[in-house]
Amino acid sequence: MRLVKLIANLGYGSRKEIQTAIRHGWVTDREGNRLKADATTAHEDILFDDEPLDPAPGMVLLLNKPVGYTCSTKDSGRLVYDLLPDRFRVRKPVLSTIGRLDKETSGALLFTDDGTFLHRVISPKSEVPKVYEAELDRPLRGDEAALFASGDMMLEGEDKPLRPAELEVLDEKRARLTLHEGRYHQVRRMFAATGNHVNALSRLTIGGLGLDGVAEGEWRLLDEVDKAKIFG
């Protein structure tokens, strides 16, 4: 791929803008040598304005999503993409969230521009577990763990029972819930079916990948070890 198209597809600017950047010497190799538009320098050795290029397509990142942000590129209000570099929003292939968290849910949220990886994570066949922590409006009844684990629980408006889920009681109004599927507002609807209401909800882990070292509102790129943890 020509250097101009490569950098433009990463979101650094239009092809015309990248051509201008190359003419001004803003695109170099790691030794500081100016690169021409037809350069065949390896991706990892290219600098744009003295900084390494963003990863090539196949990028996966983890965001610690705060409450109040919507998983969308077009909705009004604060969007999860506002927490990432502006250029990430216009990468080609597009950088998409892997699943969603509703506006009032915080925690682990993955992004990728790799469609194959995205579908592997969300596929029911992968059975990637997700752990949530919920703060409830009223004390737990005591039978929630058995109900959620039964494999017989039906949500209103659906005709297929939920897969068994594991509940860990933290205190009378707090619990951790491990899901093995991802239905619309599933955690909130499960507790609503028991007569309770979720006041606060956070996703702690996706598979074996947690938020260690990622502060709220911050993100980090994942390497192959991180990605393997999701399925491990």
Domain boundaries, the chain: 3-52, 60-124+208-231, 130-206
**Spatial distance between the Cα atoms of 202 and 94, rounded to a whole number of angstroms:** 26
Q: Are 79 and 70 in contact (CB under 8 A)?
A: yes
Question: What CATH number does the domain located at 60-124+208-231 have?
Answer: 3.30.70.580
Q: What percent of the chain has pLDDT over 70?
A: 100
Superfamily of domain 3-52: RNA-binding S4 domain (3.10.290.10)
Residues 173-182: pLDDT tens digits? 999 999 999 9
Average pLDDT over residues 181-192: 96
pLDDT at residue number 232: 84
Tens digit of each residue's pLDDT (9 = 90 or more) over 87-138: 999 999 999 999 999 999 999 999 999 999 999 999 999 999 999 999 999 9
Question: Architecture of 130-206 per CATH?
Answer: 2-Layer Sandwich (3.30)
Q: What is the pLDDT of residues 19-70, one digit of tens each?
A: 999 999 999 999 999 999 999 999 999 999 999 999 999 999 999 999 999 9
pTM for the full predicted model: 0.94
Tell me which residues are annotated as active site: 102
**pLDDT computed for residue 171 by the predictor:** 98
Query: Is residue 1 pLDDT above 80, yes or no?
Result: no
Average pLDDT over the chain, rounded to an integer: 96
Please list, residue by residue across 191-203, b when 16 or more beta carbons sit within 10 angstroms of its beta carbon and e when fewer do.
Answer: bebbebebeebbb
Q: What is the pLDDT of residue 76?
A: 85
Check residue 44 and give its pLDDT: 96
- Cα three-residue angle 61-131-143, rounded to 5 degrees: 165
CA dist 198 and 189 (Å) reads 9
Q: Is the pLDDT of residue 167 over 80?
A: yes
Domain 3-52 and domain 60-124+208-231 have a common topology: no
